[in-house]
Structure 1
Amino acid sequence: MENIKQNPAATAPFHHLDLTALAALIRAGDVSPVEIAQAQLQRIDELDGALRSYACVTAASALREAETAAAEIRGGRYRGPLHGVPLALKDLFRRKGVPTAAGTALHRGVPADHDATVVRRLRKAGAVLLGQLQMSEGAYSDHHPDIDAPRNPWNAGYWTGISSSGSAVATAAGLCFGATASDTGGSIRWPCAATGLTGIKPTWGRVSRHGTFELAASLDHMGVIARSARDAAILLEAIAGPDPLDPTALQAPVPDYTRLAAAPVAGLRIGVDADWNGDGADPCTQAMLAAAAHVFQDLGATLVPLRFPAADGEQAVRDWAPHCAVEAAVAHAGTYPSRGNAYGPVLAAVLESGRALSGPDYQRILLRRMALRGKVDALFTGIDALLTPVQPMAPLTLHAISTLGTQPGLVAALQRYTCLFDMTGHPCLTLPAGQCGAGMPMGIQLVAARLDEATLLQLGAAFQTATQWHLRRPLP
């Protein structure tokens, strides 16, 4: 695939509208959910042979759902801003009757026997579900050798991020208007930064994990990938909340994220650790952060210098892999090692390392994790959000990614600002905020106190009223 240029958002066709704009057209009767679903399915048919974002397209059921939505809306039974909007699911959210493989060969072609809670909630909101989106094996760091990995629509020679690769590619390329995703070490934030999208990793437990394939139970965060912070607010509001089927889902009520995202940000305090953010960051990343900070200041927010517990963060990065491995070994105990020949080499090696870690070593990791969580909690007594890059380097080519196995320093740098917030459970919002090299997108990260996704969405929406990075689209 050749390099793909961007087009101005002002002339964007229907498939590049944000969800919020499409929802307004549907509600007004200016466009039919059936028309949009048909157009999306045609676009998938035309483009996804090259992009490989879908693991399974459910065209027949999508058209039925669109017809139902159209009839309900005509009859005055409008359910809300997702009614009739085409979305897609990362292929670890089970959907009854639809093969849900979580990027594995082991479960390929096996229909799910129930809906995940997230899927039930999207159905209740009236969304049209286009299909299951491709992902890395078991939501870890590599695609199964038998699976053709999704390709970045901006430039096929660049990384798409993992593990929510299909979710990002489909949303960026106009093959859906938003997608579910998950994040255990960075799997919402990396793909969004790589493809110019907005994504939210909520507080751990804010969104039910019932009916999802597990990688590491206490690290897995269910979230969304979208084209704007306002879109993300709509999606998160639809899927969040307590769930009797998941006793670990938090009991906190779900805020009106859509309304709160529209609030002004004057007076909000954004913490910045210039040394931590700048440690090893390349010039593109430093320039992006400086420009983003100026935007927030112009919007009336206050920048607060602080010291992040960087040494604890570095330890958390070292602890993340063995911690994840232990929990993954438990999650896969029913099929590994008994069906080990169905596993790819990367995930199999992770499971082996998890099975080998001692109990005392694991307990030490848990104690350090508790201490880091407390220190990060303390930061938010003096700030409303923390600003960091998603990664300290420019967008990575596929060649650079292919060398990660021999460059532990590069792996640690890539994880520096992501996996530690999976360890602490704090919510994170990723926003497109720059470009580098061959015009490839780059992203910033905002982090907030636990259960304070509203502040992140508020800041994100304000940032996107003052910038146009989120309006860039790859062609065609």
Structure 2
Amino acid sequence: MDIGSDDLHYLELTELAACIRARKISPLEATRAQLDRIAALDGELGSYVRVMGDAAMAQAEAAHAEIAAGRYRGPLHGVPIAVKDLFWTKNIPTAAGTVVHGDFRPDEDATVVDRLNGAGAVVLGKLQLTEGAYSDHHPSVTPPKNPWNPDYWPGISSSGSAVATAAGLCYGSIASDTGGSIRWPCAANGLTGLKPSWGRVSRHGAFELAATLDHVGVIARSAKDAGAMLGVIAGRDHADPTAVLDPVPHYLAAAEQDVRGRRIGFDARWSSDGVDVTTQQVLGEAIKTLRTLGADIVDVRFPDVKQVVADWVPNCAVEAAVAHDATYPARKDEYGPILAAVIEAGRALFAPDYQRILLRRLELRGRIASLFETIDLLLIPVHPFPPLTLAMIRTLGDQPDLIARLQEYTCPFNMTGHPTITLPGGFSSTGMPIAFQLVAADLDEAMLVRAGAAFQRVTSWHRRHPPLSSWRQH
């Protein structure tokens, strides 16, 4: 197939899938091109922990043979993707960004990895993350670099997943989100991220940060791609009794529907108080576009989230302490200072205080459920300020108010479990991506895919890619 190098690497997953199914390009060609690109660029970007080149080529060869024989498995068949290195991969080290688990070789695949294999996907490798998927990398780890500009934050724990997808080093990635770890990296890298409802995707074989806050989801180049990936990894799982039993919707069918008559809630006060002008402009343009598509914009008043945002850290800390009980404090010296501090805080929290947090979570969940009786979607920022520089990120430890503002539009939906989609919507004056979020009712990811795909049919923000040629000269 006559496709230029960058054109090939930046195809959307579903576009590549169509080419593979039509035999215009083979899984072998696509995989070899990806591995060559990783070898050329990732030494600087640092998105991969481990490239599984031989295994990927073997999977590509198997996919090529099956498709040639007429046995097409679906939209991920033969498509090269990658997974965050907290999902178990059989006999392959899975460290979750830690030193303490550096030698761990699982004896089985995580459920999501098993489902990728069953769909015929090609797994290129394991992607870098913060220590234990919390807020900072282990001191021994070099963080991934934002391909739009290395002086800017690439996002938090799923940053490796986002950097690889944005730079054309995979066609999509499996990630997780405990407080913003899909949404912040997608916003920082100009990508589409789908954080499903809690329980929509099995957590079996995924290192925990905080069990009731952890959401397994996807990072992609479009809402349609996200729907294709979620359709493969979602669903009940006997190995994870918390995975919901509801049937998995046909997300690709949802991606073909429009949003005419859909009610989109917008809290003008919540989305403007302390929100920078450029971000407000992005929200305003998104509203105009959705109105043009026939959606009804509804004024709403969202519940105050200050308390639940303050509750997120101690809630996460308690659950992280449980998740690391086998290795902390027994191997405390192998932990970085940030993750160690949050585990210590969790071990020290007074039980009645934790119970009060759980009750407040339930109350907020109920209030949001009531809100979704009147609307189909909620439109909000990802965070209230322009893309953050690394210099600003280094000051967060001394600015608790800034941390709270960063978490204001993300953490509440981990505390309640509601699904969200992050969509690119514009650029800052410095040329960095700016995104917005849509939130849906519990288990209504199909509505998110539907609205996201409708928005992206008439906009091109998601089709813009980082200028890597100029970045390499930075």
Once residues 429 and 99 of structure 2 are traced to their aligned partners in structure 1, the CA distance between those partners, rounded to angstroms, is 36
Contact 1:141 1:162 in 2 (8 A): yes
Specify the alignment match of 1:467 in structure 2.
Answer: 459
Contact 1:173 1:475 in 2 (8 A): no
The correspondence of residues 221-232 of structure 1 with structure 2, limited to 5 A, is 221-232=215-226
Once residues 64 and 121 of structure 1 are traced to their aligned partners in structure 2, the CA distance between those partners, rounded to angstroms, is 17
Specify the alignment match of 1:455 in structure 2.
Answer: 447
Contact 1:105 1:342 in 2 (8 A): yes
Q: Which amino acid aligns with 2:39?
A: D
Specify the alignment match of 2:117 in structure 1.
Answer: 123
Which of 327, 332, 342 lines up with 1:340 in the alignment?
A: 332
Specify the alignment match of 1:323 in structure 2.
Answer: 315
Q: Quote how far apart the aligned CAs of 1:11 are.
A: 9.5
The correspondence of residues 98-247 of structure 1 with structure 2, limited to 5 A, is 98-247=92-241
Question: Helix, strand or coil: the match of 2:271?
Answer: helix
Question: Helix, strand or coil: the match of 2:423?
Answer: strand
Cα 1:161/1:125, change in 2 over 3 Å: same
Once residues 271 and 11 of structure 1 are traced to their aligned partners in structure 2, the CA distance between those partners, rounded to angstroms, is 41
Once residues 354 and 427 of structure 2 are traced to their aligned partners in structure 1, the CA distance between those partners, rounded to angstroms, is 40
Q: Extract unaligned runs of 5+ from structure 2.
A: 469-474
Q: Which amino acid aligns with 1:30?
A: K
Contact 1:84 1:128 in 2 (8 A): yes
Once residues 76 and 448 of structure 2 are traced to their aligned partners in structure 1, the CA distance between those partners, rounded to angstroms, is 21
Which of 37, 42, 60 lines up with 1:66 in the alignment?
A: 60
Q: Which amino acid aligns with 1:185?
A: G
Aligned length: 466
Specify the alignment match of 2:472 in structure 1.
Answer: none
Specify the alignment match of 2:421 in structure 1.
Answer: 429
Q: Which amino acid aligns with 1:340?
A: K
Specify the alignment match of 2:21 in structure 1.
Answer: 27
Once residues 437 and 99 of structure 1 are traced to their aligned partners in structure 2, the CA distance between those partners, rounded to angstroms, is 41
Q: Quote how far apart the aligned CAs of 1:39 are.
A: 0.6
Once residues 375 and 161 of structure 1 are traced to their aligned partners in structure 2, the CA distance between those partners, rounded to angstroms, is 29
Once residues 4 and 281 of structure 2 are traced to their aligned partners in structure 1, the CA distance between those partners, rounded to angstroms, is 26
The correspondence of residues 245-256 of structure 1 with structure 2, limited to 5 A, is 245-256=239-250
Once residues 132 and 256 of structure 1 are traced to their aligned partners in structure 2, the CA distance between those partners, rounded to angstroms, is 28
Query: TM-score, with normalisation over the residues of structure 2?
Result: 0.97
1:409 maps onto 2:398 in alignment: no
Q: Which amino acid aligns with 2:232?
A: A
Deviation string 1:414-470 (CA, Å, 9 cap, x unpaired) is 000000100000000000001103110011000000010011110000000111100
1:361 maps onto 2:353 in alignment: yes
Contact 1:268 1:384 in 2 (8 A): yes
1:42 maps onto 2:39 in alignment: no
Q: Which amino acid aligns with 1:445?
A: Q
Once residues 144 and 228 of structure 1 are traced to their aligned partners in structure 2, the CA distance between those partners, rounded to angstroms, is 31
Once residues 237 and 407 of structure 2 are traced to their aligned partners in structure 1, the CA distance between those partners, rounded to angstroms, is 31
Q: Which amino acid aligns with 1:279?
A: D
Question: Helix, strand or coil: the match of 1:110?
Answer: coil
Query: TM-score, with normalisation over the residues of structure 1?
Result: 0.97
Q: Which amino acid aligns with 2:300?
A: L
Deviation string 1:145-199 (CA, Å, 9 cap, x unpaired) is 1000000000000001111010000000000000000000000000000000000
Once residues 198 and 10 of structure 1 are traced to their aligned partners in structure 2, the CA distance between those partners, rounded to angstroms, is 24
Specify the alignment match of 1:52 in structure 2.
Answer: 46
Q: Quote how far apart the aligned CAs of 1:105 are.
A: 1.0
Supply the RMSD in Å over aligned alpha carbons.
Answer: 1.1
Question: Helix, strand or coil: the match of 1:276?
Answer: coil
Specify the alignment match of 1:4 in structure 2.
Answer: none
Specify the alignment match of 2:266 in structure 1.
Answer: 272
Which of 61, 76, 79 lines up with 1:85 in the alignment?
A: 79
Once residues 23 and 465 of structure 1 are traced to their aligned partners in structure 2, the CA distance between those partners, rounded to angstroms, is 18
Once residues 389 and 262 of structure 1 are traced to their aligned partners in structure 2, the CA distance between those partners, rounded to angstroms, is 25
Q: Quote how far apart the aligned CAs of 1:97 are.
A: 1.1
Q: Quote how far apart the aligned CAs of 1:111 are.
A: 1.8
Q: Which amino acid aligns with 1:295?
A: T
Once residues 11 and 62 of structure 1 are traced to their aligned partners in structure 2, the CA distance between those partners, rounded to angstroms, is 20
Q: Extract unaligned runs of 5+ from structure 1.
A: 1-8
Q: Quote how far apart the aligned CAs of 1:474 are.
A: 1.1
Q: Quote how far apart the aligned CAs of 1:279 are.
A: 1.4
Once residues 201 and 406 of structure 1 are traced to their aligned partners in structure 2, the CA distance between those partners, rounded to angstroms, is 29
Q: Quote how far apart the aligned CAs of 1:107 are.
A: 1.4
Specify the alignment match of 2:471 in structure 1.
Answer: none
Q: Which amino acid aligns with 2:50?
A: C
Q: Quote how far apart the aligned CAs of 1:408 are.
A: 0.6
Q: Quote how far apart the aligned CAs of 1:106 are.
A: 1.1
1:376 maps onto 2:368 in alignment: yes
Q: Quote how far apart the aligned CAs of 1:10 are.
A: 11
Q: Quote how far apart the aligned CAs of 1:12 are.
A: 4.8
| Percent of matched pairs sharing the same residue | 62
Deviation string 1:276-328 (CA, Å, 9 cap, x unpaired) is 01110001111110010000000000000010012xx1111000000000000
Q: Quote how far apart the aligned CAs of 1:475 are.
A: 3.0
Question: Helix, strand or coil: the match of 1:368?
Answer: helix
Q: Quote how far apart the aligned CAs of 1:110 are.
A: 2.7
1:400 maps onto 2:428 in alignment: no
Question: Helix, strand or coil: the match of 2:264?
Answer: strand
Once residues 438 and 203 of structure 1 are traced to their aligned partners in structure 2, the CA distance between those partners, rounded to angstroms, is 34
Question: Helix, strand or coil: the match of 2:210?
Answer: coil
| 4+ runs deviating over 2 angstroms | 9-12
Q: Which amino acid aligns with 1:321?
A: V
Contact 1:263 1:458 in 2 (8 A): yes
Specify the alignment match of 2:300 in structure 1.
Answer: 306
